[in-house]
Structure 1
């Protein structure tokens, strides 16, 4: 079904994933390999060893980002890059991030096996602390590379035990000398499991990722008055939890009104004082709004602010809305997206356009170089969980699309 003379070795890709998964393996079949722990160091050692075995030149920058380079015929050209991360959540799976790194390595191995040289060099990146489960900010390595925050901010970050990124990089031997970023990258591709249920539900093998949802995070404080639950008549209550319940419905309603890409979530809700016979006097809650279109996300933001005013007036409470974080919607590069779409089509793979609702290193990279992503299904849409799973043939298919897209961008020398 393929028009390409090259195809990756799916068994080798799968075996590499399973070998890496032994480092930090958990009882339920997942992984706990937190960023910059000794286990992360062992994972880095294993993968960079494979990279060197594949003839790649490995360099490490001052934040521990790893770049393995395969020379092009014209090595002065900026590289076509792919990559992801190998750090995990505390109860992470075997594929989140790791697939993107090892798919990139498999592309290089495949080109080596076939004796194919590209015009431009190729690079495979391993980004530091993508998950953000030990250190914040999240997507740390790519964020500094893209200039979203400073190297010093990242190096000074500390975990719950007070250990710094700077010291932990030294401890595992990955405090490199190269500057972080500031060099040209021709293009960036990232292969990833979807981390959601859409591809599986639609029976598609490849997700052609057209961009990422924008995100707005809020903290909301609703203040009423604590009063005795028995003697206080309903009409004169200032029930903070009742008011908050209307805000929960507002968040969900705003998302439902902006389909198909609207998202709305209240992930935390804490009532004070938390006694069964006391009317709640204060509620602290979070809100999360997302959409792929910036103008629509702005309207969703305005709708939430109006809902806060309306609820405050209707229930005689005070509502304070605090902005916590804002990520703009990020459209990916049309040419690179087209190469992913063409790669799937040329191999006869069932594919569909999709947007990512999760953060990825590709979102930051899109601000400094043309970027695209390739999604493959994961079982039941489950990720950030030890039972995360994916089918070997789907992983192989996505890697073949990555191969085609990278070679199309980098150019095949002598072809």
Structure 2
């Protein structure tokens, strides 16, 4: 077993609760009710940590306010006056800080088919930070008018020979690609990529845009205490929803598809069902989770981890980022610490669409990956303390060189992965030296090691091997080396029933399929703790991701989107009463 990883972070004072109050039409006792009761009156076979009663909303409440989830209040949406310290009142989904019209009814079958335009992009006169305050969706157009959103030429209507069925449904590819492009334009970097580190201004602007699209579709939008956003379309029954989603935060050198594809395709699925006036048995939901990348605030998949109860909310709110920022403070600053408690209610099932972020599908000429699980992840930060000294006068055998020790760890990690074979990967992704001068022996170093394996016992073996090497290195070089665990997740196996549905659906739609594990971490691996879960992969050109050059061909994007739509419909009809496999 790997040795314990001591924490080097000083404990911070923990407030009793740092949540805004929910809309006033919820009773004063509703927030104390278990999260599961919001989707089902029967208890789940799982104990959930409660959340203390939220406090009043702060004076920094934003215009985009959450609404109740799958409940009769879906017929209303919420907005508030910017800067108001009072709870919002039920109004239309207006983005303006005043003159909101009264409550509106849910869209009719005719008005639901309209595709409203997205909010205008930022300009010199209307910066992105003000877009949410200055734009209000236009009024609904007559059903026979031309929608401002172009329709795809891909066939979606029934043939003259037979009546259209759910199996004939396809998403609007042009609309999906436009939304991907619009979101990628927030936090743009060279090469066509994006930088929206979690809870930064750019992340806030991306959230605002996606939440605007959710409100435009009349979805019931809720924000929880860690900033996860879930939008629900009602079904025939008030039961746990079939959920999809992913994340919209990026690494510093992010592409335009990682995470974004899953969220925006989920939105497209719900819009397609609404356009066709199709009622599903379960509610359908699309979510984006906070800080999936973990690039600013470790661990990765933070939002979904808190959502399923894997980490307490207060512990997550106190996490300190690589820039010294604190999660809770940043959620307050960007206005996305919501009123709904964590953990959240478990869905009926969760299915995530994602780019592969690897070369396997493209190399094998396969269109769809039916993901069988996610490999285990171990992140460790090492701090090496040596002695800073003159580079010219200090003999080699008398040095306590932190830079050499850090480099030795990096080369050992590479050799470790090579010896263990293809199932093991290892990366030193961050390395900092101090004083970082050309003529000074480094006095200290900080580096991170990322170990991954699909086999838990092999991953533990790799951790033990590295720990032993670090101990020997510290003694040999006369340096002190401390470590801190940043993330540790065991390998996850997805529900075979959902994996089978993904594979069968892809084959029925005429696509080649490969059953495969994921080398990257995903929000789906967290949701697998509480509900049947699966994933759909589409190819990544040259296996490149976390890079502005990240690319997936449009045909593959459309194939994955259509598979997701049909898988969600199939899961809606499927009996998954067995819950989470043990």
What is the TM-score of this pair, normalised by structure 1? 0.84
CA distance in 1, matches of 2:301, 2:292: 4
Distance 1:345 1:321, change over 3 A: farther
CA distance in 2, matches of 1:100, 1:279: 47
2:455 to 282, 290, 293: 293
Partner residue in 2 for 1:264: 426
Partner residue in 2 for 1:155: 317
Distance 1:94 1:316, change over 3 A: closer
Shift of 1:125: 0.6
Partner residue in 2 for 1:66: 229
User: Which structure carries more strand by proportion?
Assistant: 1
Corresponding pairs, count: 409
Partner residue in 2 for 1:350: 512
Partner residue in 2 for 1:18: 181
Partner residue in 1 for 2:94: none
Shift of 1:389: 2.2
Instruction: Describe the superposition over 1:133-157 as per-residue Cα deviations: whole angstroms up to 9, x where unpaired.
Output: 4444433321211112222233344
Which structure has more relative contact order (CA 8 Å, sep 6+)? It is 1
Long gaps (5+) in structure 2: 1-155, 157-165, 575-582
Q: Aligned with 1:343: secondary structure?
A: helix
Q: Is the 8 A contact 2:386 2:480 kept in 1?
A: no
Instruction: Describe the superposition over 1:100-137 as per-residue Cα deviations: whole angstroms up to 9, x where unpaired.
Output: 11111111122223333221111101212323344444
Of 102-111 and 159-168, the range deviating more from structure 2: 159-168
What is the TM-score of this pair, normalised by structure 2? 0.62
Long gaps (5+) in structure 1: none
Q: Aligned with 1:20: secondary structure?
A: helix
Distance 1:231 1:306, change over 3 A: closer
Partner residue in 2 for 1:214: 376
Distance 1:232 1:152, change over 3 A: closer
Shift of 1:249: 4.2
CA distance in 2, matches of 1:318, 1:213: 33
Please provide the CA RMSD for this pair. Answer: 3.5
User: Which structure carries more helix by proportion?
Assistant: 1
Partner residue in 1 for 2:153: none
Distance 1:334 1:321, change over 3 A: farther
Q: Is the 8 A contact 1:222 1:317 kept in 2?
A: no
- Equivalent runs, 1:237-248 vs 2, <5 Å: 247-248=409-410
Shift of 1:376: 1.3
Q: Aligned with 1:352: secondary structure?
A: strand
- Equivalent runs, 1:403-414 vs 2, <5 Å: 403-411=565-573
Q: Aligned with 1:372: secondary structure?
A: strand
Shift of 1:36: 3.4
CA distance in 1, matches of 2:198, 2:434: 35
Distance 1:384 1:275, change over 3 A: closer
Report whether the alignment pairs 1:255 with 2:404.
no
Q: Is the 8 A contact 2:400 2:479 kept in 1?
A: no
CA distance in 2, matches of 1:384, 1:70: 32
Report whether the alignment pairs 1:391 with 2:553.
yes
CA distance in 2, matches of 1:138, 1:406: 26
Tell me which structure has the larger Cα radius of gyration.
2
CA distance in 1, matches of 2:390, 2:249: 48
1:322 to 456, 479, 483: 483
